[in-house]
Amino acid sequence: MKRIILHIPNITAAAFVQLAAVVVFASAFLLTGCSENELPSDENTDTNRTTFTIEVSDGGYAPAAGEKPGTRATENGYATQFTVGDKIGVFAVKDYEIVDGVNNLCLVATADGSNLVWKTEDGKTPLNISDATYYAYYPWQPDEKITDKVYPATTKVTTFFYDVIKDWIPSTNQGTYIDYTSFDLMIASGTPSDKSLSFSMQHKMALVVIDLPKTKYKLTDANGQALPDYIIDAPDTKFKGFTPYRMSDGTYRYLIKPAATNSQPETLSGSYTNATSATAEWEFEASVDAGKYGKYVVDDGTIIEETHQLQAGDFFMKDGTLLSKEGELSDEEKAACIGIVYWVGDPTKITPANEKANISNKDNLQGDKTLAKDHPGCTHGLVVSLGEESCYWQASTTSVQYWLNSNHSGEFLSVESGFKASDPLNNIQGYNNTKAIEAFNESSDNSGSQVYVVQKVVKYREKVPAPTASSGWYVPSEKELTLLCGEDVDNIYTNNSGGTDNHDLINKKLELISSATTLSSSGYWSSTERSYGYAFSVYFNGGRVESSYKHNPSYRVRFSIAF
Each residue of 530-547: pLDDT tens digit?
A: 999 999 999 999 888 999
Residue range 420-479, pLDDT digits in tens: 888 999 999 999 999 999 999 999 999 999 999 999 999 999 999 999 999 999 999 999
Mean pLDDT value across the chain: 85
What mean pLDDT do residues 298-306 have? 92
Residue 95: how many CB atoms within 10 A of its CB?
A: 9
φ, ψ dihedrals at 422, nearest 5°: -95, 5
Q: Residue 96 — left, alpha, or beta (φ > 0 → left; ψ -120 to 50 → alpha)?
A: left
Q: Output the pLDDT for position 13.
A: 31
Report which of residues 60 and 511 the model is more confident about. Answer: 511
More confident residue, 59 or 294: 294
Least confident segment among 41-55, 375-389, 457-471, 493-507: 41-55
CB burial of 148-176 (b: ≥16 within 10 Å; e: otherwise) equals: ebbebebeebeebbeebbeebebeeebbb
Distance CA 432, CA 153 (A): 44
CA distance linking residue 393 with residue 519, whole number of Å: 18
Mean pLDDT across 143-158: 95
CA 233/CA 541 separation, integer angstroms: 38
So what's the pLDDT on residue 531?
Answer: 96
Looking at per-residue pLDDT, the higher value among 15 and 526 belongs to 526
**Which range has the worst mean pLDDT, 68-72, 76-80, 124-128?**
68-72
The predicted structure's pLDDT at residue 61: 76
Query: CA-to-CA distance for 67 and 465, rounded, in angstroms?
Result: 38
Write down the pLDDT at residue 5. 47
**Residue 19: what pLDDT?**
34
For residue 474, list its beta bridge partners.
Answer: 560
* Residue range 377-395, pLDDT digits in tens: 999 999 999 999 999 999 8
Cβ neighbourhood burial of 278 (10 Å; 0-12, 13-18, 19+): exposed
What is the average pLDDT across 167-173?
Answer: 96
| Collapsed DSSP state (helix, strand, coil) of residue 187 | strand
| Res. 20 pLDDT band, cuts 50 70 90 | very low
pLDDT at residue 355, as a whole number: 87
Q: Write down all domains in the chain, each with its CATH number in brackets.
A: 19-206 (2.60.40.2620), 208-305 (2.60.40.3570), 310-562 (no CATH)
pTM above 0.85, yes or no: no
In sequence order, the β-bridge partners of residue 239 are: 270
pLDDT of residue 44: 36
Tell me how far apart the alpha carbons of residues 26 and 53 are, in angstroms, rounded to a whole number: 5
Task: Return the DSSP state at 537.
Answer: E
Q: How much is the pLDDT for 141?
A: 96
**Which residue, 472, 476, 477, is CA-closest to 461?**
472
What's the pLDDT tens digit per position in 211-256? 999 999 999 999 999 999 999 999 999 999 999 999 988 999 999 9
270-291 pLDDT tens trace: 999 998 889 999 999 999 999 9
What span, in angstroms and rounded, lies between the C-alpha atoms of 207 and 295? Answer: 9
